[in-house]
Amino acid sequence: MMNSEQSNCTRMNQSQSLIKIGLLSLCFLLFVTACVDQQPTKKTAIWPVSSYNFGGMQEMTVEEQIALLRLSGYDGLILRVATPANFQVLPDFLAEADKYDDFKVHAAFVRYNFDDTAMRERWVEVVDQIANKEVQLWVIFGKKVDGYDEVFIEKKLREINSYSIERGVEVILYPHSSTYYESVEEALPMVDRINSPNLQTAVHLYHEIRAGNGHRMHEVIRNASGKLGAVTLAGADSVADYSSPLARDTSTIKPLGRGTFDVKGFVETLNQVEYQGVIGVMNFSIKEDPTIYLPRSKEILDDYLQKE
């Protein structure tokens, strides 16, 4: 049998061993922590990401569209409100989005076609529906028509903006190919002239490429940065193909990751000018299955948003 002196020695040796193990574990932990601290950390630009509800989504119910976008990682939706059918379904989109804390309708866009006296003032009802919901109103002035000029547009845009201010709705002057304002630099003078903090404009990558600005997008973004309230993008070629209307659309609107234009560089410039707002992903005319291209585009955009 072990005497008491031997027993004490054994316990002392065991305690010393435990202390050594503890010290070694602590040293290892400190070493690992130091190594982790030395690794570069990645930051994500804090931009909500939205999607238009085109590209096959229009065949789905309101509930299915929002469910797909949420499942694909999007934060919101951009809605076209140009037809009576669009207008009728707008309350359904707003109500469905209100069910979720992580999803919202970011914008509703209308088109003011000068010669369409029956529909062009529908913006009033749209503003009434989105009032105080943090939904932007995007306004496209349509194709040029004789008798409608900058004087008319300024008066109408001031009216739209004043009405919207009273209802808590921010207004974005939306440049669009084949309309009165085809690029953001064409729209900027009007925004500057009205000079309201509630009125801004937007850069839509595909419309800028169609306007011939693909080679100078970094300059365009910097020129617009002080009045930039919205940005949308898509995969695109650097030069639009105008051989047909379809070619124009498909050359400038692709799923992200397709096309020759450097979309990642476009996003990096937005970071540099400290853009604050929503990033919209355009999917007009995309024929692929939205359950495939939507999550893939979001994953690619998330990668673009990573910066050291």
Looking at the structure, tell me whether residues 54 and 33 fall in a common domain: no
Residue 282: domain span: 45-307
Kind and range of the H or E run holding 173 = strand 171-173
Q: What is the CATH number of the domain that holds 251?
A: 3.20.20.150
- pLDDT (average), residues 85-112: 97
Q: Give residues with Cβ within 8 angstroms of 193, minimum separation 6.
A: 154
Looking at the structure, tell me whether residues 13 and 161 fall in a common domain: no
Query: Which tens digits make up the pLDDT trace of 225-283?
Result: 999 999 999 999 999 999 999 999 999 999 999 999 999 999 999 999 999 999 999 99
Q: Which two tokens stand for residue 9?
A: 């020695």
d(CA 90, CA 81): 8
| Kind of pairing between the strands at 306-307 and 43-44 | antiparallel
Structural contact between residues 270 and 264, judged by C-beta atoms closer than 8 angstroms: no
- pLDDT (average), residues 132-151: 97
Query: Which tens digits make up the pLDDT trace of 21-47?
Result: 444 443 434 433 344 344 333 344 579
Characterize 156-168 residue by residue with b for buried, 16 or more Cβ atoms within 10 angstroms of its Cβ, and e for exposed: bbeebbebbeeee
Structural contact between residues 80 and 121, judged by C-beta atoms closer than 8 angstroms: no
Looking at the structure, tell me whether residues 154 and 275 fall in a common domain: yes
What pTM did the predictor assign?
0.84
Orientation angle between helical segments 217-224 and 263-272, nearest 10 degrees: 30
Looking at the structure, tell me whether residues 96 and 1 fall in a common domain: no
- Average pLDDT in the chain: 88
Q: Does residue 308 carry a pLDDT above 80?
A: no
Give ∠ CA 251-114-162 in degrees, rounded to 5.
Answer: 100
d(CA 224, CA 185): 7
Query: For position 34, what pLDDT does the model report?
Result: 41
Total number of domains constituting the chain: 2
Looking at the structure, tell me whether residues 105 and 29 fall in a common domain: no
Looking at the structure, tell me whether residues 187 and 283 fall in a common domain: yes
d(CA 202, CA 225): 9
Comparing 4-8, 106-110, 245-249, the range with the smallest average pLDDT is: 4-8
> Helix, strand, or coil here: 49?
strand
Structural contact between residues 171 and 161, judged by C-beta atoms closer than 8 angstroms: yes
> Helix, strand, or coil here: 244?
coil
Of residues 173 and 305, more confidence is placed in: 173
Q: How many CB atoms lie within 10 A of CB 3?
A: 8
Query: Which tens digits make up the pLDDT trace of 183-217?
Result: 999 999 999 999 999 999 999 999 999 999 999 99
Looking at the structure, tell me whether residues 1 and 114 fall in a common domain: no
Looking at the structure, tell me whether residues 101 and 29 fall in a common domain: no
